[in-house]
Structure formats: C-alpha cells, structure tokens
C-alpha cells in the first residue's frame, strides 16, 4: 500500500457539466436551452402559461371566503376535564373557567374563549363557565349534578386581526 494507490471508489465523484464549451461536449452552443426567445434568457419563467390556452387557474371557479368575524375557540372534552380533576390539577369545588384551566396547564391558551365538548364522561359535580358548550356536554355535566354557564363571546378590539 502506497500513498499514490489511495483513491476514491469509481463513480463516487462526478465532474460538473461545463455548458457552452463546444459542439463535441454535447452541451455546446445553446447549452441545452433550445433556440432563441424568452426561455433561453436567464431569470425568466413563464409560470402557469399554457401557450395561449386559458390557464388552469383561470378556468376553475373561485370558491369560498374568509369570515373576518370568525371566533376560534380552545376546545376541551369532558374526559380531559375529569383527568385534570383526578390528577388534582383542578379543584372540583371551585368554579372552572378559562383562567383556571390555563393556570392548571390543561389548556395552553384561551384564544377567543373555551368551548366544552362531550367526549368521555364526568363524575365530579362542577360549576363550569365557558364561552360555548355542546348539548351533550351540558347534559353530561347536569347529569353529574353540576351546572354550565355560557358566557358572552369575547369582543375583539377595533383593528385587531382575525
């Protein structure tokens, strides 16, 4: 073994293609860009152009819209609430509201309010104050002996983005 014998494996290093270096290189003259015109120039792209035919993005109808008054609720299910009570994160005697859920670490943020959903079951007798609740969630809480108070939605400030 000599230093001069050490070499890379065959094919592990490939030389870059040198375009525009004569007809014999296979990429001479126009360098693989075809004839003259817009696409032969640098920095030009005809995106979405279909040769004069009406492009796909203009043939399809426009659909939908974004409601700027839409409220985004933080959702919590009954089973998550029951787990938090079982793990002593939430005091069953106190009123359960958005602030107490965030403080307990059950929710990360309240967004535009909290909405109670009915997955799972609740055993504790709770007083819950939320901005929205499904009918099944309200029925389950009341069956357990608790109450659900629906608060008015949080008003967004003038100029605040939706």
The SS3 call for residue 118 is coil
pLDDT of 63 reads 94
Residue 93 has pLDDT above 70, yes or no: yes
Strands 132-133 and 74-77: unpaired
Strands 147-150 and 114-117: unpaired
CA distance 73 to 80: 16
CA distance 160 to 128: 28
Residue 162 has pLDDT above 70, yes or no: no
Residue 157 has pLDDT above 70, yes or no: no
- The pLDDT of 98-127, averaged and rounded, is 92
pLDDT of 158 reads 59
């Amino acid at each position: 073994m000599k230093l001069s014998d050490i070499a890379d494996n065959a094919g592990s290093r490939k030389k870059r293609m040198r375009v525009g270096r004569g007809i014999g290189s296979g990429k001479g003259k126009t360098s693989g860009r075809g004839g003259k015109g817009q696409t032969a120039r640098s920095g030009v792209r005809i995106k979405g152009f279909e040769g004069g035919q009406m492009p796909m993005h203009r043939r399809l109808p426009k659909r939908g819209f974004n409601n700027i008054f839409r409220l985004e609720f933080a959702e919590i299910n009954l089973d998550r609430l029951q787990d938090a009570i079982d793990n002593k994160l939430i005091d069953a005697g106190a009123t359960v509201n958005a602030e107490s859920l965030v403080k307990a670490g059950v929710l990360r943020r309240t967004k535009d309010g909290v909405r109670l959903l009915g997955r799972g079951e609740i055993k504790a007798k709770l007083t819950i104050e939320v901005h929205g609740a499904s009918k099944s969630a309200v029925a389950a809480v009341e069956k357990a002996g608790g109450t659900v108070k629906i608060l008015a939605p949080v008003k967004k400030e003038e100029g605040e983005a939706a």
